[in-house]
Amino acid sequence: MKISEAAKILEGTILCCEEFQDKEVTAACGSDMMSDVLAYAKDQAVLITGLCNPQVIRTAVMMDMLCIIFVRGKKPTDEMIELAKERGIVLVSTPRRMFSACGKLYSAGLVSGGY
């Protein structure tokens, strides 16, 4: 699905890099522990997380991810948005919680890309 569709399913707001919202993504990974993302993520283009700090953006960069979805209405700081913009990573904020955000996207066809 397109990043824009994922945002819509989650009633989310795109916070930056709208120009990339039509990019296609097929797999996602949900975690609040960045070391787990680094250890287990493979080619998931989307990171769903409740953690909100600059290291989330850095982690996504290391994993070549295209989009980060912040759950529970978390709003990244201007500093984080700046970091993401420079790297072309789409940031989305959704009021949904982790479980329901992951569930919604999974039922809509996004896969986990791992075990």
Partner 1 sequence: MQDCVHLEYRVDGQNFVSAGSATESVKTFLKGMGVNPQDVRRVAIAMYEGEINMVIHANGGYAYADIYVDKCIITLVDTGKGIKDIDLALQPGYSTASDEVRALGFGAGMGLPNMKKYADECIIESEVGKGTKVTLVTRFD
For the chain, what's the residue count? 115
* By CB under 8 A, residue 95 contacts partner 1: no
Shortest distance (Å) from residue 41 CB to partner 1: 9
Residue type, 100: S
CA atoms within 13 A on the CB side of 55: 8
From the list 24, 8, 34, the residue with the least C-alpha distance to 105 is 8
**Residue 14 is inside which H or E element, if any?**
strand 13-16
Q: How far is the CB of 58 from partner 1 (least distance, A)?
A: 4
Residue 75 contacts partner 1 per CB under 8 A: no
Is 39 a residue that touches partner 1 (CB under 8 A)?
A: yes
Site residues for partner 1 per CB under 8 A: 32-36, 38-39, 49, 51, 53-56, 58-59, 61-64, 79
